[in-house]
Amino acid sequence: MSQHPTTYVPKSALGRWFESRLPIAGLVHSSFVAFPVPRNLTYFWTFGAILSFMLVAQIVTGVFLAMYYTPNANLAFQSVEHIMRDVNYGWLIRYLHANGASMFFIAVYLHIFRNFYYGSYKAPREVLYILGVIIFILMMATAFMGYVLPWGQMSFWGATVITNLFSAIPLVGETIVHYLWGGYSVGNPTLNRFFSLHYLLPFMIAGVVALHVWALHVPGQNNPTGIPIKSGKDAVPFTPYATIKDIFAVVVFLIFFAYWVFYMPNYLGHADNYIPANPAVTPAHIVPEWYFLPFYAILRAIPDKLGGVLAMGAAIVIWVFMPWLDTSKVRSTAYRPLYKQFFWVFVGVCLVLGWLGSRPAEGWYVIASQICTVYYFAHFLIVLPVLGFVERPLPLPNSILESVMGVQKGGAGMPAGANAEPQSKG
Amino acid sequence: MAETTTHVAEPTRRDFLYIATGAAAAIGGATLVWPFVQSLAPDAATVAAGAPVEVDLAPIAEGQIVKVFWRGSLIFIRHRTADEIKAAEDVNVASLRDPQADTARVKEGKPQWLVVYGNCTHLGCVPLGQQGEYKGWFCPCHGSVFDTSGRVRGGPAPTNLPIPPYAFTSDTKVIIGQEATA
């Protein structure tokens, strides 16, 4: 926004009158119409739009659910069943909201791993990236509290296990947990405050998303080559190119979303959550929602309460330091033959951790979790810093245009090398 | 007048006002946080609901574990068999993660009655009775193992199942939530 002053000229007299008082049309025009986007973006760059859509969808469905939901320990379970059976289309709105959370996380994980693959977190996009990590943490908190609200068995025991993580803090842990609960166990005060926060946090996410988009519009988008836009020929205007592509991607994503909602709406949940909360009995096999499983596996891999909690927290917080842990000057993994292999191993380790998180904590599952946890941290603390020094990257194209159209004789706007970044080690 | 602030190195009365105002605002703001944080604590009704509960032990058969609630927390009352008591007492206390003799976990003269909190000290799940290697409790969530004295013997739990305050009012009645007043 600040980098590309608007050239927007309102056509009508009313438009000019309004624009001189609140230049919002010009802001939208420069940010989402005239804004230059790299011409080589793939569909991996549509997840920002998909995620924005999902945030709005979750807020809209959530607002309607809140009209019928009752945040009281004695009434919550019944009120959810009331929504499912009595409220017109209540089943649809609830399934959209519940599965919407999973879709939100599918999209955010693809968005995050796209960022990891193409080095989008590197300078000058560190702040943009860290805002993204903050959004992810807020999403996790929101999803967790939302899962507690139906007050089924998984809700209750999920809330118990997660809030008990704080009891690992030395000295004050117990007091903190009592303050989180508003009592001496998870109970009605806990449900009340979780509902309050579950309604609040999405709007905080929306606020950080606004900062995230703002920070994106300063350097502009990264792209599959990782090299910046150097001339007008490298870019196309946001509208219609990115707009239409984003809308198409959202539609395809909605088909995927609808499949879950209409054909297997409970597949991603747990049957135990259709049993009302019972503080005297823990379900035999307690697991969090799928999107928390890799972190849950890390928690259980450490045979020490405080250590497990710290490792789980560190598994996310370590992302913040990625721009500085990765010493390679080359952004895109497409030009990093060695890192490409490590990247896919890392993806595999995260998936295996997710699977291990869904298994009981016994036998070789624990050992496998421990090996994967060590590798997870080694990826950030050893692979990323060391590879930047030992890896010899492939030659980068001179421009985005060249990467798309091939080298054109005399066609390039600038002499080769004049615009080279210091990313080449050769 | 404006020049006086640039030429005089000494703090002026205006500097004092700035600092005093800023300090008052900072202290005031910090103080205002207190009631909001305190409002999150267990409220008076919740605390009041923590009145002691009396439990009749007569119907609890030997070998049985009964679950009761006090202050919203689950409590196990276990009527231990002679074998279970012996197993709990015949342990090298020094070898335990949270060393505590069995005699310190029951009331004198009542070794058959074990009263402990019913939530695992790891992350709060309810352990299953008479299961696990020591036939005490086994937590299905993360695999903690407790013996017939409720002491942690394996898994991630850091401490033994804690003992709530309780006292025997007669041979067959126990009151949970209050220690003996004598």
Structure ipTM: 0.82
Distance from CA of B1 to the nearest CA of A (A): 38
Question: Which pLDDT band, with edges at 50, 70 and 90, does A6 fall under?
Answer: low
**B115 close to B77: Cβ distance less than 8 angstroms:** yes
Q: At what angle do helices A188-217 and A126-148 cross, to 10 degrees?
A: 160
Determine the average pLDDT of the residues in B70-85: 92
pLDDT at res. B6: 57
Which residue in the list B7, B79, B122, B142 is annotated as catalytic?
Answer: B142
- Give percent helix, percent strand, percent coil of chain B, each to the nearest 5: 30, 20, 50
Residue A192 forms contact with B (CB below 8 Å): no
Tokens, residue B175: 């009151």
Q: Tell me how far apart the alpha carbons of residues A176 and A197 are, in angstroms, rounded to a whole number.
A: 17
In the predicted model, what is the mean pLDDT of residues A47-56? 98
**A419 pLDDT above the threshold of 50:** no
Distance CA A232, CA A239 (A): 15
CA dihedral defined by A340, A219, A130, A297, rounded to 10 degrees? -30
Confidence of residue A379 (pLDDT cuts 50, 70, 90): very high
Q: In this structure, are strands B73-79 and B113-117 parallel, antiparallel, or unpaired?
A: antiparallel
| Smallest Cα distance from A299 to chain B, Å | 10
Of residues A412, A1, A405, A404, the one with CA closest to residue A230:
A412
Could you give the 3-state DSSP secondary structure of residue B128?
strand
Question: Which residues of chain A have a CB within 8 Å of the CB of B118?
Answer: 280
CB A194 within 8 A of CB A182: no
Evaluate if residue A110 carries a pLDDT over 80.
yes
Q: How far is CA B111 from the centre of its chain?
A: 22
* B41 vs A contacts (CB less than 8 Å): 178-179, 182
Residue type, B142: H
Helix ranges (DSSP H) in A264-336: 293-301, 305-317, 322-325
Could you give the angle at the alpha carbon of A88 between the alpha carbons of A85 and A91, nearest 5°?
50
Look at residue A424 and tell me whether its pLDDT is greater than 50: no
Using omega within 30 degrees of 0 as the cis cutoff, is the peptide bond preceding A124 cis?
A: yes
Report yes or no: A362 at the B interface, CB cutoff 8 Å.
yes
Q: What is the mean pLDDT of residues A385-394?
A: 95
* Closest chain B residue to A287, measured at CA: B141
Angle, helices A364-378/A305-317, rounded to nearest 10 degrees: 40
pLDDT confidence of A5, banded at 50, 70, 90?
A: low
What digits encode the pLDDT tens for the residues B132-166?
889 999 988 888 899 999 999 988 888 999 999 99
Q: Taking Cα atoms as reference points, which of A353, A245, A292 lies closest to residue A108?
A: A292
Q: Give the confidence band of A425 by pLDDT, cuts at 50, 70, 90.
A: very low
CATH code for the domain defined by A36-405? 1.20.810.10
| Per-residue pLDDT, B46 | 85
Handedness of CA A117, A121, A122, A123 (dihedral sign): positive
A174 in B contact zone (CB under 8 Å): no
DSSP classification of residue B133 = T
Using only C-alpha atoms, chain A has a radius of gyration, in whole angstroms, of: 24
Residue A382 neighbours by CB under 8 Å, 6+ apart: none
| Segment holding A204, helix H or strand E | helix A188-217
The answer to whether A25 and A19 have CB atoms below 8 angstroms apart is: yes
pLDDT at residue A8, as a whole number:
86
pTM: 0.89
What distance in Å separates residue B72's CA from the closest CA in chain A?
A: 6
pLDDT at residue A178 above 60? yes
Chain B interface disruption, residue of A305, A310, A362, A370, most B CBs within 10 A: A305
Question: What does the alpha-carbon distance between residue B50 and residue B44 come to, in Å, rounded to a whole number?
Answer: 10
Task: Please list every residue in chain B whose beta carbon sits closer than 8 Å to the beta carbon of residue A302.
Answer: 156
Q: Is B7 a catalytic residue?
A: no
Which residue, chain included where needed, has tokens 């342990």? B91
Nearest alpha-carbon partner for A387 in A119, A184, A192: A119
Instruction: Tell me the C-alpha distance between A354 and A371, whole Å.
Output: 13
Q: Which residues of B touch A191 (CB under 8 A)?
A: none
> Does the pLDDT at position A349 exceed 50?
yes
pLDDT of res. A408: 66
| Cis geometry, peptide bond prior to residue A422 (ω within 30 degrees of 0) | no
Structure token digits, residue B101: 């003799």
Radius of gyration of chain B (CA): 27
Q: Where are the domains of chain B?
A: 2-38, 47-176
Instruction: Give the pLDDT band (50/70/90) at residue B3.
Output: low
Chain B residues with CB under 8 Å of A282 CB are 125-126, 140-141
Q: What gap in Å lies between CA A120 and CA A113, rounded to an integer?
A: 10
Q: In angstroms, rounded to a whole number, what is the distance separating the alpha carbons of residues A78 and A126?
A: 46
| Interface contact A279-B71, CB threshold 8 A | no
| Neighbouring residues of A99: CB distance < 8 A, sequence distance ≥ 6 | A257, A260, A261, A265, A268
Distance between CA atoms of residues A145 and A159, nearest Å: 8
> Chains A, B: CB contacts under 8 A, how many?
87
- What is the CATH number assigned to the segment(s) B47-176? 2.102.10.10
pLDDT of B179 reads 81
Inter-chain touch B156–A304, beta carbons under 8 Å: yes
**Nearest CB to B141: which of A161, A302, A308?**
A161
CB-count exposure of residue A371 (10 Å: 0-12, 13-18, 19+): middle
**Could you report the per-residue pLDDT of A201-223, keeping only the tens digit for each?**
999 999 999 999 999 999 999 99
Mean pLDDT in residue range A178-193 = 94
Q: Classify residue A406 by its DSSP letter.
A: -
Q: Report how far residue A177's alpha carbon sits from residue A169's, in angstroms, rounded to the nearest whole number.
A: 10
The string of DSSP codes covering A103-153 is: HHHHHHHHHHHHHHHTTTTSTT-HHHHHHHHHHHHHHHHHHHHHHHTT-BH
> What residues of A are in contact with residue B72 (Cβ under 8 Å)?
183-185, 187, 279
- The predicted model gives A223-241 an average pLDDT of 94
**A90-117 helix and A243-263 helix, angle to the nearest 10 degrees:** 130
Q: Which residue from A312, A361, A309 is spatially nearest to A177, judged by alpha carbons?
A: A309
Cβ-defined contact of A284 to B122 (cutoff 8 Å): no
Which of A139-148, A304-313, B98-107 has the largest mean confidence? A139-148
Show the tokens assigned to A412. Answer: 């390039």
Residue A150 pLDDT > 80: yes
